[in-house]
Amino acid sequence: MDIEALNAIAVKMVTPGQGILAADESTGTIKKRFDSINVESTESKRRDWREMLFRTDKAMQDHISGVILYDETIRQRAADGTSLVDLINAQDSIPGIKVDAGTTPLAGRPGETITQGLDGLRERLAEYYELGARFAKWRAVIEISPPEQMVKRTPSRGAIKANNQALARYAALCQEANIVPIVEPEVLMGGHHSVERCHEVTEIVLNSLFTELYEQGVKLEGTILKPNMVVAGKKCPTQPSIEEVATRTIKVLKDTVPSSVPGIAFLSGGQDNEVATAHLDMINKIGNFTWNITYSYGRALQQSALFAWKGDEKNYDAAQKAFNHRARMNGLASKGEWDAKLENA
Ligand code: 13P
């Protein structure tokens, strides 16, 4: 393992003004996204969509430091025969790869899941390195049960521990392969739970995660954390202000994340596009922390472009314009320089 090289990649991934494009939707998830615009999800349509994003020069060169790819995508070629990995490198952005194999029910813990994909991971990482990946992603999913379920409420300690241990074992394997691990323990924002409950659970999850990373010998200087923000469940009747989300998120991070972690890149998790930008911006406006804090958004970077594209070549420019806009807004937010007025300027 070359920790200096890993650190240099991690630092570049969180360059102020830039962030990560999560374009690693599994075949099932991208089908759901395409269903929303009534487009059939074929291999070539998925390629067209992602090629269009990676060819959006301004967004890619100015605001996308890295792109998370899916197994199919890292092997694909653009319509002119250039590999998509080469396209991303040519934009001075770093190709990365999702390596988890999704979630499955966790035996012994009804209603909770464990992320799988550790078997054979050492060999897969070696292949992905050859294919050009310099960072990877693994997502653990933590679900908060409805408030009325006080007896069997989730997450359980067992599910948190099992998921974080898997994240730590994945991260150690990545570093052995000279690949920067993004560790993503996502506390889901669906449901009725309050912002206080999300705060409490996120704190427990992140505390446990850094214990597991330590125990598995993961070097934090070569690791990127991809957490959720501290928000209320989407169905909670009381929603916190932008300031409250930012203040609570910073508090949890300061209470749990060592300063040797070079960067934190949030997932958007189903937040509305502009709200995800406003939250990131407020976190950076408040500031006073040691890490670079930015975005690793999927939906919040792609949604408006997807609706502009609608699967039709003639909408290529409109889709690139929409992607450029969201990338620029989030780039500003990663420096605390966004303003709502810029959204319609
Ligand atoms: P969202 O920003 O859409 O949550 O996706 C980010 C991601 O990579 C989830 O694993």
226 is catalytic: yes
Q: What is the predicted pLDDT for the residue at 12?
A: 98
Nearest Cα residue to atom 5 of ligand 1: 298
Listed residue (304, 236, 313) closest to 59, CA to CA: 304
Active site residue 12: no
Distance between alpha carbon 268 and the CA centroid of its chain, in Å? 7
Quick one: CA dihedral 172, 102, 184, 36, positive or negative? positive
Q: Whose CA is nearest to atom 10 of ligand 1?
A: 139
Contact in structure between 213 and 220 (CB atoms under 8 Å): yes
Ligand 1 near 263 CB (within 6 A): no
For the chain, state the CA radius of gyration.
19
Does residue 297 line the site of ligand 1, with CB under 6 A? yes
- Token pair, residue 86, equals 């080469």
How close is the Cα of 151 to the center of ligand 1, in Å?
A: 31
Looking only at the bridges linking them, the beta strands covering 19-22 and 292-297 are parallel
Reference 159, options 171, 145, 141; nearest CA is 141
Q: What is the pLDDT of residue 211?
A: 98
Residue 192 identity: H
Atom of ligand 1 nearest to the CA of 301: 2
Answer whether 299 contacts ligand 1 (Cβ < 6 A). Answer: yes
What is the Å distance from ligand 1's center to 330 Cα?
A: 15
Report long-range pairs for 285-291 (Cβ below 8 Å, ≥24 apart).
285/246, 285/336, 286/246, 286/247, 286/250, 286/336, 287/336, 288/250, 289/250, 289/253, 289/254, 290/259, 291/14, 291/253, 291/257, 291/259, 291/261, 291/262, 291/263, 291/264
CA of 227 to the centre of ligand 1 (A): 10
| 12, 98, 226, 335: the active-site residue | 226
Give helix 273-286 / helix 299-309 axis angle, nearest 10°: 150
Give pLDDT, residue 254.
98
Q: Which of 69, 73, 297, 306 to mutate to test the pocket of ligand 1 (most atoms within 8 A of CB)?
A: 297
CA atoms within 13 A on the CB side of 335: 12
pLDDT of res. 128: 98
Ligand 1, residue 266: give the atom nearest the CA: 2
Candidates 112, 184, 186, 203; catalytic one: 184
CA 99 – ligand 1 centroid, Å: 14
* The pairing of beta strand 113-115 with beta strand 64-69: unpaired
Rounded Cα distance between 36 and 33, Å, is 5
Q: pLDDT tens digits for the chain (345 residues)?
A: 899 999 999 999 999 999 999 999 999 999 999 999 999 999 999 999 999 999 999 999 999 999 999 999 999 999 999 999 999 999 999 999 999 999 999 999 999 999 999 999 999 999 999 999 999 999 999 999 876 665 568 899 999 999 999 999 999 999 999 999 999 999 999 999 999 999 999 999 999 999 999 999 999 999 999 999 999 999 999 999 999 999 999 999 999 999 999 999 999 999 999 999 999 999 999 999 999 999 999 999 999 999 999 999 999 999 999 999 999 999 999 999 999 999 987
Look at the domain 3-344 and name its fold.
TIM Barrel (3.20.20)
pLDDT, residue 344, reads 87
Domain map (residue ranges) of the chain: 3-344
Check if 184 has its Cβ closer than 6 Å to any atom of ligand 1: yes
336 conformational bin, left if phi > 0, alpha if psi -120 to 50, beta if neither: left
Q: From the alpha carbon of 24, which atom of ligand 1 is closest? A: 8
